[in-house]
Amino acid sequence: MSWTSRIISRRFAGIGEESTMDKLFNNNWLVKIISFVLALMLYGVVSAGDGGNAPGSTANVAVNPTQQTTVVNEKLAIRYDESQYVVSGAPQTINVHLNGSNESILKAKLPSTKSVYLDLTGMKPGTYDAQVHTRGFPSGLTVRPSPKTVRVTIQKKTSKELPVGVDVLNKDALADGYSIGDPAIDTKTVTVTGGENTVDSIAFIKGVVDVKNAADTVDKMISLHAYNNNGDQVDVTIKPSSIHVRVPIEQVLKKLPIKTETTGTPAKGYAVSSVEQSTNEVAVTAQDSEALNRIKALDPLPVSVDGLKKDKTFSVSVPVPSDAESVDPEKIEVTVHIEREDSDETSVESEDRSADSSTAAANSESADSSADSTSDSSTDKQTKDFTNIPIKVTGLENGKTASFVKDDQVAVSVSGTEDDLNQLTKNDLEAEVDLSGLDSGTHKVPVTAVTVNLSDKYKIKTLPETVSVRIS
């Protein structure tokens, strides 16, 4: 029997029994070996067709384990006829999804000629869903913009001249004592350019200036913006985009010293020792700085001390000076301190009066004696008081300053004949302190008073006789 006949006979003989091939494929080790061999063969085919690992080949993309997906944000450009139209509604940037190798993605992130854009060339006014295009990205990348389309509105370009306004913020938050004037601008109108419908919707052009805590005129450049009737900002081009504004800030309040002046005479045997005020200054408000500058000082407040034997407090109204609108406070409290005069002078006066009375009684029956008595009474010593005499400072060393610890005025009591006293006025009196040779610090110094350009026929006394002076 030939070799072929034997194979055929064996083939038919094995019908109905498990074939040898089936047994082989049921063997796990054989399957593993065959799979390994096929894997080696596939690797060889891939390596042979790689062509030196050429970039961008399909085989390389299929098996490259470093392939990634990322998103980059790119500026969106718009191509259109800028001389005739205005485009609105497009976003500033677009997200772009990239899929590819690390190397390609890194290249896409570097500055290059790549771009993301809308091509509206040749399109007329209207609203469109424009496709987002990309170009210039590295080869081998899958590039997908998101969104793929953008709704934009194309309007006919137009320009209009509009007036400019200024809003002043925090008018009520100026520095104390200041007021605000009307703002002045160097540009009254501006040119607004944009889409025809957008420009027509503009209600006003305004800039804002903040004057919070301002104590001087505000002078600055401010930016301008366009707004519609709802107060929403409108996207248009404004030329010039900023203007110069000047907001006058004027001082309308200042504080001035206030003093009191006593009038009249206390009860006999009493004198004014000092005067105290609840405040020594008053805030004066005027309509504007010019009027305020005309107010130089406040008149003294008169306080009557007629017949006083003890301290008394007065509520004195502060008059509003000419050119002013108001004063603060409107009233101040003034306390006048009264003290008894020295007993020696009182005793002398009493003795004189007693002697005169005795003489008059002893000679009351004689007409000539009565006449003599009348003549003597005209030469009796009397006393006249003057208050609020300013104290002058003399003898102060150069470079030093002096201030009074309490009062810078004294009361002056002058004794003399009735005729002489009637000729004496407040302007004839001076009071002073001599600070010669005194160093820095607080010193108690005597006050001297004299009559100016008059004879020494008066006896003068100051109340108080000494004052405290601080030298610095």
Each residue's pLDDT expressed in tens, for the chain with a length of 472 residues: 444 444 444 444 444 444 555 555 566 676 677 777 777 777 665 444 444 444 333 333 334 556 788 999 999 999 999 889 999 999 999 999 999 888 888 888 888 788 999 999 989 999 999 999 999 898 888 999 999 999 999 999 999 999 999 999 998 888 888 888 889 999 999 999 999 999 999 999 999 999 998 888 999 999 999 999 999 999 899 999 999 999 999 888 989 999 998 999 999 989 998 899 999 999 999 988 888 889 989 999 999 999 999 999 999 999 999 888 899 999 999 999 999 876 444 443 444 444 444 443 344 333 333 333 333 444 567 888 888 889 989 988 888 888 888 878 889 888 888 777 887 888 888 889 898 878 777 788 888 887 766 656 778 888 888 888 888 8
For residue 179, the surrounding DSSP H or E stretch is strand 178-180
Q: Are strands 381-394 and 429-434 parallel, antiparallel or unpaired?
A: parallel
Q: What is the pLDDT of residue 250?
A: 87
In the structure encoding, which two tokens stand for residue 415, read together? 């004794």
Distance between CA atoms of 235 and 87, rounded to whole angstroms?
A: 11
Three-state DSSP at 247 gives strand
Look at the chain and count its residues: 472
Q: What is the pLDDT of residue 44?
A: 60
The closest alpha carbon to 187, from 229, 217, 222, 233, belongs to: 222
Would you state the CATH architecture of domain 157-251?
Beta Complex (2.170)
Residue 251 CB neighbours (<10 A): 17
**Contact by Cβ (8 Å): 80, 117:** no
Q: What is the pLDDT of residue 143?
A: 92
The residue written with tokens 């004949």 in the block is 417
Instruction: Locate the domains of the chain by residue range.
Output: 3-49, 62-147, 157-251, 253-340, 380-471
Amino acid at 343: S
| Residue 450 phi, psi dihedral angles, 5° rounding | -140, 160
Would you state the CATH architecture of domain 380-471?
Beta Complex (2.170)
Q: Which residues pair with 117 in a beta bridge?
A: 77, 133
In the structure encoding, which two tokens stand for residue 175, read together? 């520095």
Torsion angle of C-alpha atoms 98, 104, 107, 112, degrees rounded to 10: -70
The string of DSSP letters for 189-246 reads: EEEEEEEHHHHHTEEEEEEEEE-TT--S-EEEEEE-EEEETTS-EE--EEESSEEEEE
Distance between CA atoms of 427 and 391, rounded to whole angstroms?
A: 13
Amino acid at 247: V
Three-state DSSP at 145 gives strand
Distance between CA atoms of 404 and 410, rounded to whole angstroms?
A: 12
Question: Which region holds residue 137: left if phi is over 0, alpha if psi is between -120 and 50, else beta?
Answer: beta
The residue written with tokens 């809308």 in the block is 118
**Contact by Cβ (8 Å): 316, 299:** no
Q: What is the pLDDT of residue 171?
A: 87
Determine whether 62 is exposed, middle or buried from the number of CB atoms within 10 Å of its CB (0-12, 13-18, 19+): exposed
Distance between CA atoms of 233 and 155, rounded to whole angstroms?
A: 18
Q: What is the pLDDT of residue 49?
A: 44
Same fold flag, 62-147 and 157-251: yes
CATH fold for domain 253-340: RNA Polymerase Alpha Subunit; Chain A, domain 2 (2.170.120)
Determine whether 211 is exposed, middle or buried from the number of CB atoms within 10 Å of its CB (0-12, 13-18, 19+): buried
**Is 62-147 in CATH node 1.10.3720.10?**
no
Helices (H) and strands (E) in the chain, counts: 10, 33
Q: What is the pLDDT of residue 342?
A: 61
